[in-house]
Chain A
Amino acid sequence: MDHIEAVKTMAAERYLLRELSNEEIDAFEDHYFDCTECSQAVLDETLVLDGGRSLVRQERRQRRSPMRMWVPLAAAGLFGAVALYTVPMAMRVPALVAQVNSYAKAEANANVLGIVGDQSAIDLEKFREQTTPILITARSTRTFLLPYGPAYRSFSQIHAQVQDSTGQIRGTVILSPDLAETSRLTLTPMRRGHYIVVIEGLSADGKKTQLRKIPFVVQ
């Protein structure tokens, strides 16, 4: 499908109204991923539809609970913020699950980060300098590549430590340089916020050297 055909057949509207066949969907997706005009149309119409549905749901909720209409917005926001922290911790606190393989040594507590051995061949030496925050969403198990550098091999151990924005350490994993080469860092659900992974090398004489800092944002 080319752009002229997409516009002429109102493909964006038909796509969102679920009027396209499977073949047409594939063709249009192939097109709009490349075409910023069509992708903007899809995005804006999605905003209209989702915004409208959300608006209707909000109105229905307000109709069911008229008292809520009287709650000042600031108080409602405050209530929401408090509720976020008093919801049972089993649902909110990251239950970090250790996925330990035979090479990694992970601390057996709630703040464990998992290291998963990655069997695929990844050219990590060309991986970018981690100056850009990695965006990670909060509500699922996430993995991202643990950046590896040639300098890691001069150390006897590599420590990967996650700190939150207050500097509190949320978890530490110790691994061998070999494992650091092919591993991914696995994070299970975490609170939204800014974090940083600090990677340090430990020499045979016990001296620690900071190798890298990788900021990431949980949204």
Chain B
Amino acid sequence: MKRKLHFNLFDVFVYSFCGLFAFICFYPLWYVFIGSISPYDRFSSAQIAFLPVGIPSLRYYVAIVKGPSFQLAFLVSVIKTVLGVAGMILITSCLAYGVSKSHVKGMKFINIYVIICMYFGGTIIQYYLLFSTLKLINTIWVMIIPGYVNVWTFIIMRNYFANNVPDSLEDAAMIDGANEVVLFARIIMPISKAMIAAMVLFSAVGHWNDWVSYTYYCNDIRLQPFVKILQRLLITPSLAVSGGTNEMMDEAVNIPPIALQYTTIMCAMLPIIAVYPFLQKHFAKGILIGAVKE
């Protein structure tokens, strides 16, 4: 809609408000970033920092990357995220595709069967008992398997398969002799790439940031995901400093604790920041695709 293009007081207010809020959202992370690359003694004496203080260096990152418990935790997080996302996309998309064919007998029932899960469930106590019966406690699988069916993702996928895949395309493929396997793998999935990409990214971020499943169901220190180390450093520093149950702190002893916190935060955020540009492109579109019927 064309409006007269002069810049008035209203615009000043709009831009200042949005700009201020955007600054509040962005600055803390920026502050942590420059704190991780500036030498700590200079940084802590500076009152408010907008730019790196002193000569920026990556020595804190190097110290962390050398630490064996950091390496192990990073590896655990990567494995957990890869296996968790792959499994979720596979199982949930198959489930959603089947249910999207609502004319097939039983699929409507399965639809309700899945949706009901949103409204009730067991508490962590029940999950703990189930996992210990299945001998999953204190394994990496307990952090992976419970994510395999995500009802929110299911709904979006189901809607997408039902509404945005043209019937004519499917019919044409069937006529050309494709069976349902080929139809799904070679035709449906490539068409849904944008939506699947959005779901992959959300799931990956969720898995990467997940420290709760470890906290509830594991206590083996070798299994901790990277974000759990971060949680120990930031939230319960007494544990970290005393070094009692945490052998990891011996290699970090040479870095000032605050610098260690900042650098670990940046390491934990790195994968997210790396995929963030792609997220930007996909998420609004990806979510809304599932909701809008074309």
Whether chain B is bound by chain A comes out as no
* A contact set with B: CB distance below 8 Å: none
